[in-house]
A and B are shown apart, each in its own frame.
Chain A
Amino acid sequence: MPLIKDGSFVTDPWIRLADEDALPEIGPIIVSLTRWVAARDALLARGWPLGICLASGESVEAITGDLDRFEVVALEFPTFMDGRSYSAARLLRERHGFSGELRAVGNVLRDQFLFLHRCGFDAFEVREGETVSGWLQAVAALTVWYQPTGDARVTVPQLRQLAPIAAE
């Protein structure tokens, strides 16, 4: 799957390891929560960077004690209608201070990139054929936001505080 990170295509250095795959000798890997729970020590002993992928509905609380061990947290969207990972992302970023890569994987629509971005995702596995310009257009489609999230966007209430006269 092509990967867009911070607004451009990047080669994905990470291997997504299925639960039945053998541990590779070398290289950074992303594992499931199940695997992490079952083989924590072996995974840490490898000495290579580690990422984890949470299925939609798996609670972020399951990994918050170990967040500094993961360089990537991938959150899954089994269908684009399943919005649980939006909340999971905000909790990871805003409550638990996760500053590594937050990756959206699975079924997401172009027109959702913007909401995902606002919730703290910075990496997106996209469909074949998706373009950087499509991505950039999608995340810039709206620039006015009423509600604060952990992203850097300035909200309307903040702008109104800055320019009370403009609101007349």
Chain B
Amino acid sequence: MYRYDEFDAALVTQRVAQFRDQVDRRMKGTLSEDEFRPLRLMNGLYLQLHAYMLRVAIPYGTLSSVQMRMLAHIARRYDHGYGHFTTRQNIQYNWPKLVEVPDLLDELATVEMHAIQTSGNCIRNVTSDPYAGAVADEVEDPRIWGEIIRQWSTFHPEFSFLPRKFKIAVTGSAEDRAAIRVHDIGLRIHRNEAGEVGFEVMVGGGQGRTPMIAKTIRAFLPKAHLLSYLEAILRVYNLMGRRDNKYKARIKILVHEMGAEAFADQVEAEWAEIKDGPVDLPASEVARIENYFAPPALDTASNGSADYALKLKSDAAFAAWVGSNVLGHVQPGYAIANISLKPVGGVPGDATAEQMDVVADLAARYSHDEIRVTYEQNLVLPHVRREDLYAVWQALGEAKLDTANIGLLGDMIVCPGLDYCSLANARSIPVSQQISERFSDPERQRKIGKLDIKISGCINACGHHHVGHIGILGVDKRGKEHYQITLGGKANQDAAVGAIVGPAFAETDIADAVETVVDTYLDLRADGEEFIETLGRVGIAPFKETLYATH
């Protein structure tokens, strides 16, 4: 993992002092709320329906156990004993008091964490593959470049007042586990025909009210030029992006209106001016950062034990958990263990302070001190010896963290919705709870197989409904909460936006509607087909029929 040096540490400390001064000025009244608003928004502090909400950055979703313990401490000391992991691999606290936020940030700084650029029209916290450094299909660890982008984008003086927020995601594998094609910039590390490693650069993806899949504007960018190329993209966007309408201000609209080719031409022309300038890092600095992400010292002799094989046979619940939550690791004998934050009837993405402590302890003991946060709002222990999995699973079970549903129906992405969010049309959490209770039988979920349900409380699409296999969008129908269903969205390397299936459903009917969709699929599926494959084969018409015939 990356560790701060004196410079990184000094910057975070200075930032807290600067913010403390801003809060002081607000408390004394020398700053009005109108003047304070943009300042707090530059530091992840939102005013929500009931209270302030603070968003803490977890760069590229990687945490150490010490950092996780601090997040637990903050949940206890400054919040109501829990935190909410988000689709941007961050954590949000829903109840901090304004006067206490500077102290909270001081505490975070002691473990190399902050809330810098977690809101505002700037380059947001960079996201990445939660399995980085642990999967076999990886060309290079994307977090190296995640960290390089983090540093370059931090307080970038030119790009802190962009037309709109700006999100960058990086992955190092062919399989996309970071939804890079629905980001403002998606970067995929790959090898070209000559065997050199570089980036495919995709621009203009996004969700919200105008969902778009990113376009590739450069198939291969040599690694060493990444920062100058990003600077060129951002400069073109900063100068040309629309500022007349908030809903047309994201880069996806600029790329769409100009056309991807014309946009790429602008970027290339700008890049030609700066590519050999000072913004790209010297090789020694890249190597310095790369060193921090060297693979952990894994036990190469470990190849699972007889005991592990026995447990798999004798303990069905354990086997079920391994079946859905555990994945292969690049090192034989090791595994990637996913921790679901989606228990039946729970709030997706929420974890209590006690649960965070348990995960921290397990990471320290069994996972080389590493934890990942996924954009699906779950946690990951990326480097667990197979023979330790049983002990890990038992400890997770005691903390109610052993839900065996990763990738299954219960593993829903859900935005905070009307329970917290001032922009919401409808509640999302209670809808997800209804659905998870309806499908609470784990055996039934396993039979249904892989299925992504994603729920947003309004068209801003924080719950990624456009790219859910089943997307659910809260809408307001004459003052009543209603829910529109989309089918066929995908967030992976074959990213696609789902199609609206028909009129919205009332809150009391939405769980039935989801069940109808699932039953229709079960009726139609060929052997071994996943939901999304059946849908691809038969199209949306049969689902329309069953959905609206029964209503």
On A, residues with C-beta under 8 Å from B are: 59, 80-84, 86-88, 90, 95, 109, 111-112, 114-116, 118-119, 141-149, 156-157, 159-161, 164, 166-168
Contact = CB atoms under 8 A, between A and B. Distances in A.
B235 A81 contact: no
A90 B158 contact: yes
A119 B158 contact: yes
B157 A119 contact: yes
A154 to B, nearest CB: 11
Enumerate the 5 nearest inter-chain pairs by beta-carbon distance, A residue then B residue, closest first: A83-B161, A118-B157, A144-B11, A115-B157, A148-B278
B21 to A, nearest CB: 8
A111 B39 contact: yes
Interface residues of B, number: 42
B502 to A, nearest CB: 39
A111 B239 CA distance: 22
A156 B15 contact: no
Interface string B14-40: 110110011000000000000100110
Contacts of A112: 161
Contact of A157 (B163, B239, B282): B282
Contact of A143 (B8, B10, B152): B10
Nearest to B243: A82
Contacts of B109: none
A82 B151 contact: no
A115 B160 contact: yes
B159 A146 contact: no
Contacts of B239: 59, 84, 87-88
Given A118-B157, A156-B7, A143 B14 contact: yes
A160 B235 contact: no
B5 A160 contact: yes
A82 B161 contact: yes
Nearest to A117: B157
B315 interface: no
Q: Give the residue among B35, B157, B288 with the most A Cβ atoms within 10 A.
A: B157
B152 A81 contact: no
Contact of B288 (A84, A90, A115, A160): A160
Contacts of A95: 273
Contacts of A114: 157
A160 B39 contact: no
Given A119-B157, A144-B7, A149-B157, A87 B238 contact: yes
Given A156-B7, A166-B6, A86 B161 contact: yes
Contacts of A159: 7
B458 to A, nearest CB: 22
Contacts of B38: 80-81, 109
A144 B282 contact: no
Contact of A144 (B14, B157, B160, B279): B14
B284 interface: yes
Given A84-B238, A166-B5, A111 B22 contact: yes
A144 B10 contact: yes
A147 B21 CA distance: 25
Contacts of A119: 157-158
B484 interface: no
Given A83-B160, A159-B7, A109 B35 contact: yes
Contacts of A147: 152, 156-157, 227, 279
B534 interface: no
27 contacts: A80-B38, A81-B38, A83-B121, A83-B162, A84-B238, A86-B158, A87-B235, A112-B161, A118-B157, A119-B157, A141-B17, A141-B18, A144-B7, A144-B10, A144-B11, A145-B155, A147-B152, A147-B279, A148-B279, A157-B281, A157-B285, A159-B7, A160-B285, A161-B284, A164-B284, A166-B5, A167-B5
B520 interface: no
Given A109-B38, A166-B5, A142 B288 contact: no
Nearest to B239: A87
Interface string B273-302: 100011101101100100000000000000
B154 interface: yes
Contacts of A84: 238-239, 243
A157 B154 CA distance: 13
A144 B523 CA distance: 61
